[in-house]
């Protein structure tokens, strides 16, 4: 009876935490969408096309700059938190941030040096060069605050993690738009860079305060004394993150290759429509991101403790939750796409059909569950790598094959197919390695 009551209490705690995460992540998703709407209206379709393309480039290179440490940090910090080992948390955070700061600084300098080449030779848009230069410092900010958010997520500080990852930069950017006379894509790009760097500084300050022992020692005293006094060396970190680095690159190709290829074949206005449609479609997957915030550290802890039955039940419950919340939004987007696209301003509603294509891929992403995190948090990074080594090239090949023929429509189809392929392959890998199929969500 006592064990049953304890299990019920833990389930209630999980539901409460998931509810808080859902609310915060939903607020973050819609705030990001709102900022995109503001940018579209502020700059117009042509200038915002340059901005969104530069944003995609910066996001891609910031992900590369993290050398696959995202899930490695989350995995190690999540497991260390369950064992109350703050020394492991500090060593993982310090080493990961140092690597990301070094690599992202080099990438920023390369972007400065090759901005003209990328703009003219790769995308055929000379006007893009100044926008890339203005957004280049943002590579450092995005790389660092993303890893900081992973640290906070591993510490089960969901609200703080979401704030750092998705809200803080938008707040700083909106303040810049309100206070400054921003009228072109370069100015907006530079404002984003400042906002991203301020977010990284804020997140670093909060972590530094926690590492000083004030807030975290109180948290540890609630759970008992720290069990393990140890550090994580460089070798196990790199052994974990190297396969994941390939995963990150391929995942970024799945997400952004459609826009990259479209940047070379379509005009800025069509590119802006594609970018707006993709940002809108991603609203449907906010529930997946919200649930992942809560569950990813728990996946790591349950697998490490070999509690496979609990891991399966938790995974299946999360899939049902995600489908329940996302399905109504998917139906509305499929039925009334112009309603959403018109929010971005004049010249965007023509891309309504792009939203319909992209939202199908995002719904597959949600309906398959947290398969990527299940693999990476259980130590099967190589299987996840093998999965994206298929979906990444599919995205690139389809984009190059379809965009010259169908324009932005081809890019949207390529992205949707690649997203669906990636997640369905990951479902198969989870079944093979962990013994359950997340697609049969109706089973207990």
> Is there a domain that residue 168 lies in?
yes
Instruction: Determine the average pLDDT of the residues in 130-144.
Output: 96
pLDDT given at position 254: 87
In a domain, 244, yes or no: yes
pTM: 0.81
Work out the pLDDT band at 13, boundaries 50, 70, 90.
Answer: low
Crossing angle of helices 138-154 and 69-82, in 10° steps, is 30
Q: In total, how many domains does the chain have?
A: 1
Give the span between the Cα atoms of 253 and 260, in whole angstroms.
9
Between the alpha carbon of residue 139 and those of residues 29, 130, 143, the distances in Å are: 21, 15, 6
Q: Is position 296 within any domain?
A: yes
Nearest to 138 by CA among 217, 192, 198: 192
Give residues with Cβ within 8 angstroms of 286, minimum separation 6: 25, 26, 28, 29, 30
Q: Is residue 444 part of a domain?
A: no
Is 440 among the domain residues? no
Nearest 5°: the CA angle 403, 326, 55 is 45
- Compute how many other C-beta atoms are within 10 angstroms of the C-beta atom of residue 231: 12
CB 358 within 8 A of CB 416: yes
Rounded Cα distance between 278 and 415, Å, is 9
Mean pLDDT of 278-297: 77
Is residue 166 a part of any domain in this protein?
yes
- Per-residue pLDDT tens digits for 304-347: 788 888 888 888 888 888 888 889 989 999 999 999 999 998 88
pLDDT at 139 exceeding the cut of 90: yes
Token pair in block for residue 248: 């990150």
Q: How far apart are CA 200 and CA 169, in angstroms?
A: 9
Buried-exposed string 252-288: b where 16+ CB fall within 10 A, e elsewhere? bbbbbbbbbbbbbbbebbbbbbbbbbbbbbbbbbbbb
For 386, the token pair is: 């093998």
Judge whether 305 lies within some domain: yes
Portion of the chain with pLDDT greater than 90, in percent: 42
Question: For the chain, what is the mean pLDDT?
Answer: 84
Q: How much is the average pLDDT of 116-133?
A: 92
Distances (CA, A) of 366 to 183, 355, 358, 370: 37, 16, 13, 8
Rounded-to-integer distance, Cα 429 and Cα 289, Å? 20
Q: How confident is the model at residue 195 (pLDDT cuts 50, 70, 90)?
A: very high
> How far is the CA of 403 from the CAs of 96, 262, 356, 430, in angstroms?
38, 6, 17, 33
Asked if 68 contacts 96 with a C-beta cutoff of 8 angstroms, the reply is no
Least confidently predicted of 10-19, 65-74, 81-90, 121-130: 10-19
- Which residue range(s) make up the domain with 199? 7-434
Max CA separation in the chain (angstroms): 70
Mean pLDDT of 55-71: 90
Residues 347-375, mean pLDDT to the nearest whole number? 90
Are residues 344 and 46 in contact, defined by beta-carbon separation less than 8 angstroms? no
- Overall average pLDDT of the 276-298 stretch: 79
Per residue in 245-275, pLDDT (tens digit) is: 877 888 888 888 899 999 889 998 999 999 9
Say if CB 444 and CB 317 are below 8 A apart.
Answer: no
CA gap 95, 62 in Å, rounded: 17
| Cα–Cα distance measured from residue 111 to residue 129, given in angstroms and rounded to the nearest whole number | 10
**Residue 441: inside a domain:** no
Place of tokens 């995995």: 75
């Amino acid at each position: 009876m006592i064990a049953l009551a304890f299990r019920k209490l833990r389930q209630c705690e999980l539901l409460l935490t998931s509810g808080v995460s859902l609310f915060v992540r939903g607020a973050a998703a819609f705030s990001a969408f709102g900022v995109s709407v503001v940018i579209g209206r502020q700059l117009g379709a042509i200038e915002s096309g340059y901005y969104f393309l530069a944003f995609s480039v910066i996001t891609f290179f910031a992900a590369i700059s993290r050398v696959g440490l995202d899930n490695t940090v989350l995995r190690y910090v999540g497991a260390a938190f369950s064992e109350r080992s703050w020394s492991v948390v500090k060593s993982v955070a310090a080493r990961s941030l140092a690597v990301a700061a070094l690599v992202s600084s080099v990438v920023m300098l390369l972007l400065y040096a090759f901005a003209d080449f990328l703009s003219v030779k790769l995308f055929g848009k000379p006007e893009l060069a100044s926008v890339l230069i203005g957004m280049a410092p943002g590579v450092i900010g995005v790389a660092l605050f993303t890893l900081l958010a992973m640290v906070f997520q591993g510490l089960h500080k969901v609200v703080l993690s979401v704030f750092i990852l998705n809200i803080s930069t938008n707040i700083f950017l909106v303040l810049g738009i309100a206070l400054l006379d921003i009228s072109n894509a370069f100015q907006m790009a530079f404002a984003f860079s400042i906002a991203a760097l301020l977010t990284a500084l804020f997140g670093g300050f909060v972590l530094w305060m926690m590492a000083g022992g004030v807030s975290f020692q109180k948290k540890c005293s609630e759970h008992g004394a720290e069990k393990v006094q140890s550090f994580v060396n460089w070798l196990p970190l790199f052994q974990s993150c190297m396969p994941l680095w390939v995963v990150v690159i391929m995942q970024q190709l799945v997400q952004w290759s459609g826009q990259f290829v479209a940047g070379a074949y379509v005009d800025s206005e069509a590119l802006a429509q594609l970018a707006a449609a993709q940002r809108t479609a991603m609203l449907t997957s906010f529930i997946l991101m919200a649930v992942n915030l809560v569950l990813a550290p728990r996946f790591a802890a349950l697998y490490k403790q070999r509690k496979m039955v609990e891991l399966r039940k938790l995974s299946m419950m999360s899939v049902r939750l995600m489908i329940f919340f996302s399905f109504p939004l998917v139906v509305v987007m499929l039925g009334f796409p112009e309603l959403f696209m018109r929010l971005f301003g004049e010249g965007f509603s023509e891309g309504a059909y792009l939203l319909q294509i992209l939202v199908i891929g995002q719904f597959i992403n949600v309906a398959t569950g947290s398969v990527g995190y299940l693999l990476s948090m259980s130590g099967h990074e190589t299987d996840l790598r093998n999965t994206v080594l298929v979906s990444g090239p599919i995205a690139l090949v389809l984009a190059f094959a379809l965009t010259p023929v169908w324009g932005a429509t081809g890019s949207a189809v390529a992205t949707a197919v690649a997203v669906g392929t990636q997640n369905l392959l990951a479902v198969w890998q989870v079944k093979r390695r962990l013994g359950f199929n997340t697609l049969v969500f109706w089973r207990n």
